[in-house]
Amino acid sequence: MAARAQPVSPWPGLGAAAIVAALILGTLLAVAWRADAAVRFGGADWAALRFTLLQAVLSSVLSVALAVPVARALARRRFAGRHVLIALLGAPFILPVIVAILGLLTVFGRAGWISAALGAIDLPPLSIYGLHGVVLAHVFFNLPLATRLLLQGWQDVPGERFRMAATLGVDGWAMWRLIEVPMLLRVVPGALAVVFALSLTSFAVALTLGGGPRATTIELAIYQAFRFDFDLGRAAMLSGVQLLLTGIAAWCALKAGQGDGFGAGLDRAVRRWDGTGAGARVLDVLWVGLAALFLLLPLSAIVLAGLGSLGGLPGVVWQAVLVSLGVSVASTALVLLLAVPMAATVALGRGRAVEMAGILGLAASPLVIGTGLFIMVYRVADPAVLALPVTALVNALMALPFALRILVPQAREVVARYGRLGLSLDMAGGPFLRHVLLPRMRAQIGFAAGLAAALSMGDLGVIALFADPDTATLPLQVYRLMGAYRMDDAAGAALLLLILSMGAFWALDRGGRWNAEA
Amino acid sequence: MLKLEGCVIRNGAFRLEADMEVARGRRVAVIGPSGGGKTTLLEAIAGFVDLEAGRLSWDGADMGGLAPGARPVAMLFQEGNLFPHLTAAQNVGLGLRASLRLRMDERGAVRAALARVGLEGFEARKPGDMSGGQRARVALARVLVQRRALLLLDEPFAALGPALKAEMLDMVMDLAGETGATVLMVSHAPEDARRIADEVVLVAGGRAHPPVETQALFDDPPEALRDYLG
């Protein structure tokens, strides 16, 4: 009997998945093979491991704990600007890390706004470097994500339950115990695991705000072993440790988490009748206001600090802009070439292995993959020449899991809804792809492309490993300007980077939805 | 002639046996309890579900191994018969060429088919800008240009009101009369079967029973049908 007919071929997706798996597993093998058994996991390494875990635990606990009152307030209040604020909570995901760090420095740094205010009343300035700086930056990035994940939990509580509670006169503490605590017990572990996993692999934060014997993460230690000591065996050994950590964390996050915080309809306001007391109102306003301030202040700081120097930026910055645009375009194209066929194959119901390949990227950190790629190529080619292609490739691999999360549900929907019609019209293959699948997925493809472009544009990771002093992407150039204490130029370049990342996301996402039918 | 000889169709845990013949040009209503396998029977004939055993043929030629698009079959589903991002003309044109690269005369055929179902001048409209009845007509226009020998209807008009539904059924039968197509139509409503069908196939208890003349069947219903009609 012939295999059941399919509207599109599963083979391109299987091929793409095989390439992804081979690349990631290949680099991991290279790391394992090169890891020097003679290198001992010494005192400094234990310190790095302890610091990595400590900052990740603190970051996730703080992010989620603060997200609870914020999400609770957003869930039960309706106010003007609510949906703008909720959309804004999605922004840190595509915000270039180096931009946010510069913004945080402008507000919380030694010469920042708060230190200046403290100085005015004769108090010592803040120091943002070290553990608390790293945690502050991670909370800045992950508080919004945790809020969205928890808000999802609140949205998933059936509206009838709130109506039922309202008829029973349930309010305040009773509502909290009866409905909200059980819901949080379900949602919080997933949110903790996601933030923990993200904090483990975050590199740019540790690079700029950490460092030194007391604030070095494993990810940063890999970079230092590589860059300063050029000790490949040691870099590979540390990569192995990091791989173990991230693998376990990613596994836990996948097990514990249901939502991904991308969900549409988060701005839908469920009608609520509780929390009408003055105390509850004041508390909610306070939490939402503080969270908004915490997110908006650093961003406004960058805009204010950058505007002045935007006109007189040095030539190297514009050169870096061109480089970043090129890397971003290549990375985005790569993501789509891999993700669209993979999503189609998953939609056909043939995709267990494809889905596995898709999430492999979550288990490996960019620097681990970068180290592996370096080990694979450095004997045959000059790594500095390959810096940009490798950056585009690693960016694409890192964006792939998110792109698949966006594309797969819609691909499933299109195949389920129009697959049989397409088959009965003899459209299998090219015609179905051209006339049905791609047009029907346009909005999701645009969203995924925007995400991939912005992530690649803002990435400061593997490029730091490979680049020679003459090449830089825009984020790396910002970092170099900061290192040279040219803070005005750094702020201007960071503002430019912010505009480019957000602009790329906006243009691609908008382009996908432009003139699209429901 | 459509022939199902010793066919066994399995869809997950569901199993349906079918042994029947339908002569060319007949209009057959497929009735039976919901979940009884009416849709599964049509899906097997259209090629969306594989046969586990038996032979499925049209005019003596085995079509069990053919892809759905290669069978002499046009099908209208319960919903989603049009692509919402394509115009009415493109939706109809797909019945002629899946690539949508139509020749001049084919474009003319599309226009003529739309006119035949009363949608002259609707070529550039998209389904979102049309009423439910107009959308059903576009799907019928496509069936018309497809010129397939066998037309399978899986309750495509279920969402329409009674008067509109009756109008559509009459139009289907007129069109089938013009092209000489054989029609198999799933229905929940015995009055629809009485209205348009020459024969009735009862699908119940894991079996698709051979077709029986409509009048004779309703005059003296067998037990399985009595159970269904209540």
Q: What is the residue-wise DSSP string for A407-441?
A: HHHHHHHHHHHHHHHHHHTT-TTHHHIIIIIHHHT
Residue B46 lies in a domain: yes
Task: Determine the 3-state secondary structure of B2 from DSSP.
Answer: strand
pTM of this structure: 0.85
Q: Alpha-carbon dihedral of residues A61, A63, A68, A69, nearest 10 degrees?
A: 120
In terms of domains, do B61 and B172 share one?
yes
Instruction: Report the pLDDT value the prediction gives residue A1, as an integer from 0 to 100.
Output: 34
- Continuous H helices in A212-314: 218-227, 232-256, 278-307
In terms of domains, do B142 and B158 share one?
no
Instruction: Report the pLDDT value the prediction gives residue A266, as an integer from 0 to 100.
Output: 60
Per the document, the length of chain B is 230
Q: How far is B224 from chain A (nearest CA, A)?
A: 31
Q: Where among B120, B147, B174 does a domain terminate?
A: B147
Instruction: Report the pLDDT value the prediction gives residue B27, as an integer from 0 to 100.
Output: 94
In terms of domains, do B50 and B159 share one?
yes
Residue B37 lies in a domain: yes
B83 contacts in A (CB within 8 Å)? 418, 421, 435-436, 440
Q: Which amino acid is at B3?
A: K
Contact A135, A58 (CB under 8 A): yes
In terms of domains, do B120 and B207 share one?
no
How far is it, in rounded angstroms, from Cα A42 to Cα A36? 13
Contact A410, A440 (CB under 8 A): yes
Q: Where among B91, B125, B147 does a domain terminate?
A: B147
Which of A348, A415, A418, A424 to mutate to probe the B interface, most B CBs <10 Å? A424
Q: Considering only the beta carbons, identify the residue of A428, A430, A436 that sits closest to B67.
A: A428
A5 contacts in B (CB within 8 Å)? 47-48, 67-68
In terms of domains, do B63 and B45 share one?
yes
The CATH number that applies at residue B197 is 3.40.50.300
How far is it, in rounded angstroms, from Cα A472 to Cα A387? 9
Residue B103 lies in a domain: yes
CB contact under 8 A, A418 and B46: no
Query: Does any CB of chain A come closer than 8 Å to the CB of residue B99?
Result: yes
Taking one residue from A and the other from B, the number of pairs with CB-CB distance under 8 angstroms is 78
Does residue B4 carry a pLDDT above 90?
yes
Residue B71, token pair as written in the block:
């069978």
Determine the structural domain holding residue B97 and report its residue range.
82-147
In terms of domains, do B57 and B160 share one?
yes
A426 contacts in B (CB within 8 Å)? 67-70, 98
Q: Mean pLDDT over all residues of chain B?
A: 91
Q: Which amino acid is at A312?
A: G
Contact B188, B155 (CB under 8 A): yes
Q: Alpha-carbon dihedral of residues B111, B117, B119, B122, nearest 10 degrees?
A: -50
Q: Which amino acid is at B226?
A: R
User: Residue for token digits 């293959």?
Assistant: A429
A9 contacts in B (CB within 8 Å)? none
Q: Which amino acid is at A122?
A: D
Residue B15, token pair as written in the block:
């199993």
What residue ranges define each of the domains in chain A, with the CATH number in brackets?
A: 7-36+311-518 (1.10.3720.10), 46-303 (1.10.3720.10)
- Surface of B (158-197) touching A: CB under 8 A: none
Q: How far is B202 from chain A (nearest CA, A)?
A: 24
Contact B208, B186 (CB under 8 A): no
Those residues whose C-beta lies under 8 Å from the C-beta of residue B65, and which sit 6 or more positions away, are A1, A2
Instruction: Report the pLDDT value the prediction gives residue A2, as an integer from 0 to 100.
Output: 38
In terms of domains, do B162 and B213 share one?
yes
Nearest CA-CA partner of A272 in A100, A447, A73, A123: A73
Percent of chain B with pLDDT over 70: 100
* CA terminus-to-terminus distance, chain B: 33
In terms of domains, do B155 and B230 share one?
yes
Residue B138 lies in a domain: yes
Instruction: Report the pLDDT value the prediction gives residue A243, as an integer from 0 to 100.
Output: 86
Residue B68 lies in a domain: yes
In terms of domains, do B86 and B120 share one?
yes
Contact A345, A14 (CB under 8 A): yes
Residue B99 lies in a domain: yes
Number of separate domains in chain B: 2
Contact A494, A478 (CB under 8 A): yes
Residue of B155 and A212 predicted with greater confidence: B155
Instruction: Report the pLDDT value the prediction gives residue A516, as an integer from 0 to 100.
Output: 65
Q: Where among B109, B129, B147 does a domain terminate?
A: B147
Q: Considering only the beta carbons, identify the residue of A1, A423, A426 that sits closest to B51.
A: A1
Do the strands B199-204 and B212-213 form a parallel or antiparallel pair, or are they unpaired?
Answer: antiparallel
How many other CB atoms are found less than 10 A from the CB of residue A512?
Answer: 18
Chain A residue with Cα closest to B142:
A425
Instruction: Report the pLDDT value the prediction gives residue B26, as an integer from 0 to 100.
Output: 94
* E strands in A268-347: none
pLDDT in tens, B163-195: 999 899 999 999 999 889 999 999 888 888 888
Residue B183 lies in a domain: yes
Query: Does any CB of chain A come closer than 8 Å to the CB of residue B48?
Result: yes
Query: Does any CB of chain A come closer than 8 Å to the CB of residue B13?
Result: no
Does residue B139 carry a pLDDT above 90?
yes
Those residues whose C-beta lies under 8 Å from the C-beta of residue A422, and which sit 6 or more positions away, are A7, A428, A431, A432, A436
In terms of domains, do B154 and B141 share one?
no
Per the document, the length of chain A is 518
A418 contacts in B (CB within 8 Å)? 80, 83
Q: How far is A64 from chain B (nearest CA, A)?
A: 42
pLDDT tens by residue, chain A, 518 residues: 334 678 889 999 999 999 999 998 898 888 888 877 677 788 888 999 999 999 999 999 999 999 999 999 998 888 888 888 888 888 888 899 999 999 999 999 888 888 888 888 888 888 888 998 999 999 999 999 999 989 888 888 877 777 777 777 777 777 788 888 888 988 899 899 989 988 998 899 999 998 777 899 999 999 998 888 888 888 888 888 888 888 888 888 877 765 555 555 566 666 676 767 778 888 889 999 999 999 999 999 999 999 988 888 999 999 999 999 999 999 999 999 999 999 999 999 877 888 888 888 877 888 888 888 888 888 888 888 889 999 999 999 999 999 998 999 999 999 999 999 999 998 988 899 999 999 999 999 999 999 999 999 999 988 988 888 888 999 999 999 999 989 899 999 999 999 999 999 999 998 888 776 65
How far is it, in rounded angstroms, from Cα A442 to Cα A309? 38
CB contact under 8 A, B69 and A426: yes
Residue B77 lies in a domain: no
How far is it, in rounded angstroms, from Cα B184 to Cα B26? 8
Average pLDDT over residues B88-107: 92
In terms of domains, do B63 and B8 share one?
yes
Contact B1, B21 (CB under 8 A): yes
In terms of domains, do B67 and B157 share one?
yes
